[in-house]
Amino acid sequence: MEAVHRRHTGDWPAVTPSPGNPDRSRARAPGPVDPALDVLAPAILTAVVAYPVAGQAAILPPVPDSADAHRPSALPVPHRRALAALTVLAFSAFAFVTAEVLPLGLMPPIAASLGVAESTVGLLITIQALVVVVGSVPLAAATTRLRPRTALIIALAVFMAGLAIAATAGSFTQLAVGRGLSAVAHALFWAVATPAAAGMFPPELRGRMVARLLLGASGAGVIGLPVLTWLGQSRSWTTAYGVLTVAAGVLLVALLLLMPSFRAEEGTAARGQLPSKRMFVRVLVAIALAVGAMAVTWTYIAPFLVRVTGFAETTVPLLLALGGVMGTVTTAFVGRYLDRWPVRSAVVGLGLLVLMFIGLAIGGSSVPVTVAMLVLQGACWAIVVASHLNWAMRHAPGRTDVLMALYQSMYNVGNMLGPIAGGAILSAYGAGWLPAASVGLSGAAFLVVLSVRPWGLLARMRTARMRPVSRQITRPAPPRRQNRSPQQ
């Protein structure tokens, strides 16, 4: 029988080989434990699986008894009802992300209509990001006693009110107020929607369900942004906001009809599968840097495409749709891999993001290079968003709704600071220098994720599993009782 020694400091539990192996029968002092192995929660009895997976996916809790694993009561709602609710949440995500990025496509008409500079319109992105950064965690903490359905209804109602204010704006101040109100709804929605969507399904499907929720968000780049950009350019930007307001009202009714009512604790995603503060902080830092890199350039992508590459302003919606289609296809494709390779997915996405910004920095004046980089942007950004969100949920060291709010806050730190830096670069040096700044930020995020060393983690775990320990904990065998025949 193997002797197990667990250190109370949270290190990887060392397991001595079985006595049947004479070469490793003597115990030795353990070497230093790799910090990357701190992804384990000390209370979880871990097992290293045989198939090649990366990072945390190789560490699983004990397999539950088959009778317990298939209990219908483990899921808060029936499967068909959960799918219907997930569809409504995906369309809601479509509306929220469309509203979030709409100033990117409508920057020139808004600036001309309200008599402000394009860099000032870019501050609308910063306003929303600031509200989300400041308000996400307090809103999530204040609504922890509410059922997810109630919190989501409140979020959509506030969202519709903010869009209505923006649609009737006659000044930049009124537009900024509407933008701020919809940002409050944005913060509450994403804090609740992701755990609620994942919590309606088994834990082993969490990555796929997160990807399906994000399909709606990625569809904003395929349909929402190009269509409303065209509508805003051909008619007026207020018309685009009016259409989005009506869509929010329709989604509010659908949510009232289809979203089931259950407590957050009843869902399967109320807590992280592998709680780890260290890994969670890594995710927060990486996503803040990646979003900052994207915001520096993509906030001003319309001026870049027109002034640097030479596209006509009317072709900008088509170009944005091209990247959006690629992002949607990639989101649908990547979902099946998120549960198996959560860290590798993040590495691949960030590596392609760095490559894309390098391509724009070097060949942004070339039409073929720019078109290719727009397609690549749709693919790599879809991987980055889905993989980091799934990675954060796996390692949330507490309630996922509150910690997803913290994740959204860090996400929007990049959205808040990126447009400011990008606007300064645009004013001082021109649009051609925007991708160069994004290369540095995305490269830093790439290095943060590489610090996990995902491709070598499984081998290190196996080595740690076979590492002898300084002493063995053994239990003295009980004394044998000799069967004596009764005296005659």
CB 445 within 8 A of CB 286: yes
pLDDT mean over 6-17: 36
Residue 74: pLDDT band (50, 70, 90) is: low
pLDDT above 90 for 358: yes
pLDDT for residue 335: 75
pLDDT for residue 256: 92
pLDDT for residue 403: 83
Q: Give dist(CA 314, CA 34) in Å, integer.
A: 54
The number of beta carbons lying within 10 Å of the beta carbon of residue 310 is: 11
Q: What are phi and psi of 60, to 5 degrees?
A: -125, 145
pLDDT for residue 22: 41
For the chain, give the secondary structure using H, E and C. CCCEECCCCCCCCEECCCCCCHHHCCCCCCCCCCHHHHHCCCCCCCEECCCCCCHHHHEECCCCCHHHHCCHHHCCCCHHHHHHHHHHHHHHHHHHHHHHHHHHHHHHHHHHHHCCCHHHHHHHHHHHHHHHHHHHHHHHHHCCCCCHHHHHHHHHHHHHHHHHHHHCCCCHHHHHHHHHHHHHHHHHHHHHHHHHHHHCCCHHHHHHHHHHHHHHHHHHHHHHHHHHHHHHHHCCHHHHHHHHHHHHHHHHHHHHHHCCCCCHHHCCCCECCCCCHHHHHHHHHHHHHHHHHHHHHHCCHHHHHHHHHCCCHHHHHHHHHHHHHHHHHHHHHHHHHHCCCHHHHHHHHHHHHHHHHHHHHHHCCCHHHHHHHHHHHHHHHHHHHHHHHHHHHHCCCCEHHHHHHHHHHHHHHHHHHHHHHHHHHHHHCCHHHHHHHHHHHHHHHHHHHHCCCHHHHHHHHHHHHCCCCCCCCCCCCCCCCCCCCCCC
Residue 401: pLDDT band (50, 70, 90) is: confident
The token duo for 357 is: 């910004």
Whole-structure pTM value: 0.67
Pick the residue with more confidence: 200 or 480? 200
pLDDT mean over 249-257: 94
pLDDT above 50 for 50: no
pLDDT digits (tens, 9 = 90+) for 139-154: 888 888 888 899 999 9
Pick the residue with more confidence: 404 or 13? 404
pLDDT for residue 285: 93
Rounded to 5 degrees, what angle do the CA atoms 97, 100, 101 make? 90
Pick the residue with more confidence: 42 or 91? 91
Calculate the average pLDDT of the chain: 76
pLDDT for residue 272: 67
Residue 203: pLDDT band (50, 70, 90) is: confident
Residue 441: pLDDT band (50, 70, 90) is: very high
pLDDT for residue 312: 85
Q: Give dist(CA 362, CA 432) in Å, integer.
A: 9
**Contacting residues for 89 by C-beta, under 8 A, at least 6 apart:** 152, 193, 196, 197, 213, 216, 259
Pick the residue with more confidence: 396 or 187? 187
pLDDT mean over 357-371: 93
pLDDT for residue 476: 52
Residue 192: pLDDT band (50, 70, 90) is: confident
pLDDT mean over 256-266: 82
Question: To the nearest whole percent, how much of the chain has pLDDT over 70?
Answer: 76
pLDDT for residue 150: 92
CATH classification for the domain delimited by 79-455, as one of 3.40.50.970, 3.40.50.2300, 3.40.50.1950, 1.20.1250.20: 1.20.1250.20
Instruction: Tell me which of 17-26, 160-169, 470-479 is least confident.
Output: 17-26
pLDDT for residue 3: 41
pLDDT for residue 270: 65
pLDDT above 70 for 55: no
pLDDT mean over 359-388: 91
pLDDT mean over 276-300: 90
pLDDT above 50 for 5: no
